[in-house]
Amino acid sequence: MEALKGIRILDMTHVQAGPTCSQLLAWMGADVIKLESPVGDATRGQLRDVPNADSLYFTMLNCNKRSITLNMKSPEGKKVFVELLKKSDILMENFGPGVLDRFGFTWEKVHELNPRVVMGSIKGFGSSGPYADFKAYENVAQAMGGAMSTTGVPEGPPFVTGAQIGDSGTGLHLAIGLLAALEQRHRTGLGQYVEVAMMDGVMNLCRVKFRDHQRLRRQTLSEYSVPTEGLTATPRAGNDSGGGQLGNAVKCKPGGPNDYIYVVVQEAVWDALAKRVGPEVGQPELASDPRYAKIGDRRKNQNDVWRLLDEFGSNYTKRELMEILNELDVPCGPIMSTDDLANDEHVRGREMYVELDHPERGKWFNVGMPIKLSASPAQIKRSPTLGEHTGEILKEVLGWGDAEIAAMKQAGAFSK
Ligand SMILES: CC(C)(COP(=O)(O)OP(=O)(O)OC[C@H]1O[C@@H](n2cnc3c(N)ncnc32)[C@H](O)[C@@H]1OP(=O)(O)O)[C@@H](O)C(=O)NCCC(=O)NCCS
């Protein structure tokens, strides 16, 4: 049996941050009812690659859900919403500030209608503080949560990261909060309000940058390859490891944009690595060279270490270098392009790139479920078309008949 079987989620989320969370919970077995406006989640039509088909943006974030449309601006739509709310365990949303309140459903009202329901909200900046009224997207959160100022190289502009830490990262945080609230409900019988601000989520993921921020008050950051004297904020440091062990991206053959391997020069492996690399770069005594012998020395002279490793790496492809380094027990990883990953045996074997079918778009791929539950592995099913399950949900969850459904549709409660 799936881990969350029997948990019903009324999912008003849209775009990415909320749907990431509800898709994960659906993959764990929750019955996720995606409640959409009469025209549907805007991402259904965004960046379409197949005419008239739901976009990959939508299909990749809304698997295993059922779709119902409901006009929350009509009295009939609100009536259906209240009925569904009473039959749900979780209500979740990531509207702009105040949208749900304008519908007439504050947390207090929701709690009054169904005291057991857990409500999850994602906002750019939360419901309190000077930024509370502002909308946010991924890169706004990355900008304001400390990720951009610490990503890139010091002499270049701040950069966003490719991983969606603002949207999907916040969705993950919300999932944890919702599951904790469900657990607490077992003891109290009551739901609670779970709020995650995207800015807070990004700050949480930048925790070690705030470690370094505070260290700067007392010391320079000796592990950084860039100078840190006199700084008051954590700088951008390229591909530095950011941890106690030195690390960097090393260039490989034939020198294309992703021909790099990330190498962590762990203290324990220096001797073996230096013995393997030294002779090939004209430094047969590298392992005993006092400039690099201890981690403190290597930190001081790390740009030389990277230069030597670049020289060594340029004789090998990233895969060849991975083999060489793995034999020496050196932690390393080739820089994988999306194409590398889509065709990787390990990735396919772990069901992290799965093929699905869709009535409008045909075959397509989704990134799989990263959380592996031994007793209930995820069964990934395609995303729903707009309003695909409106009738089914009203019958099964609310016990309505065809005549009642037709009358509500006529009255404007839903579009499909
Ligand atoms: C993402 C975001 C910027 C999008 O902004 P937006 O497109 O203007 O969307 P909003 O959520 O503010 O508003 C949605 C509108 O659709 C309407 N709507 C949504 N569902 C509806 C329904 N079922 N029936 C009728 N109307 C509906 C809302 O009433 C609102 O209109 P209003 O402003 O007239 O009240 C905003 O939702 C936001 O800041 N969300 C919180 C942070 C977040 O999750 N961001 C990451 C997204 S990946």
- pLDDT 10s digits, 303-361: 999 999 999 999 999 999 999 999 999 999 999 999 999 999 999 999 999 999 999 99
Whether 82 has a pLDDT exceeding 90, the answer reads yes
Pocket test for ligand 1, best of 21, 37, 47, 95 (most atoms within 8 A of CB): 95
* Ligand 1, atom 14: closest residue by C-alpha: 95
Mean pLDDT of 149-154: 96
pLDDT at 59: 98
Mean pLDDT of 94-112: 97
Does any ligand 1 atom lie closer than 6 A to the CB of residue 131? no
Does any ligand 1 atom lie closer than 6 A to the CB of residue 135? yes
Does any ligand 1 atom lie closer than 6 A to the CB of residue 39? no
Does any ligand 1 atom lie closer than 6 A to the CB of residue 34? no
pLDDT at 137: 97
Q: What is the pTM assigned to this prediction?
A: 0.96
Q: What is the C-alpha to C-alpha distance for residues 14 and 34, in angstroms, rounded to an integer? A: 9
Does any ligand 1 atom lie closer than 6 A to the CB of residue 19? no
pLDDT at 242: 84
pLDDT at 1: 87
Encode burial over 110-132: b for 16+ CB neighbours within 10 A, e otherwise.
bbeebeebbbbbbbbbbeeeeee
Q: What is the C-alpha to C-alpha distance for residues 77 and 70, in angstroms, rounded to an integer? A: 5
Does any ligand 1 atom lie closer than 6 A to the CB of residue 17? yes
- pLDDT 10s digits, 271-317: 999 999 999 999 999 999 999 999 999 999 999 999 999 999 999 99
**β pairing state of 90-93 and 8-11:** parallel
| Percent of the chain surpassing pLDDT 90 | 97
Mean pLDDT of 112-116: 98
pLDDT band at 6 (very low <50, low <70, confident <90, very high): very high
Mean pLDDT of 88-98: 97
* Ligand 1, atom 27: closest residue by C-alpha: 37
* Nearest-atom index, ligand 1, CA of 95: 11
pLDDT at 309: 98
Spell out the domains of the chain, with CATH numbers in brackets.
8-204+345-410 (3.40.50.10540), 241-251+260-334 (3.30.1540.10)
| Percent of the chain surpassing pLDDT 70 | 100
Closest CA to 221 of 239, 200, 190, 242: 242
pLDDT band at 135 (very low <50, low <70, confident <90, very high): very high
Closest CA to 118 of 85, 95, 96: 85
Closest CA to 295 of 321, 268, 258: 268
Q: At what angle do helices 207-215 and 198-205 cross, to 10 degrees?
A: 60
pLDDT band at 243 (very low <50, low <70, confident <90, very high): confident
Hey, what are 107's tokens? 């947390």
Pocket test for ligand 1, best of 58, 91, 99, 123 (most atoms within 8 A of CB): 99
* Nearest-atom index, ligand 1, CA of 18: 44
pLDDT band at 75 (very low <50, low <70, confident <90, very high): very high
pLDDT at 377: 95
- pLDDT 10s digits, 209-236: 999 999 999 999 999 989 999 999 999 9
User: Whole-number mean pLDDT of the chain?
Assistant: 97
Mean pLDDT of 145-158: 97
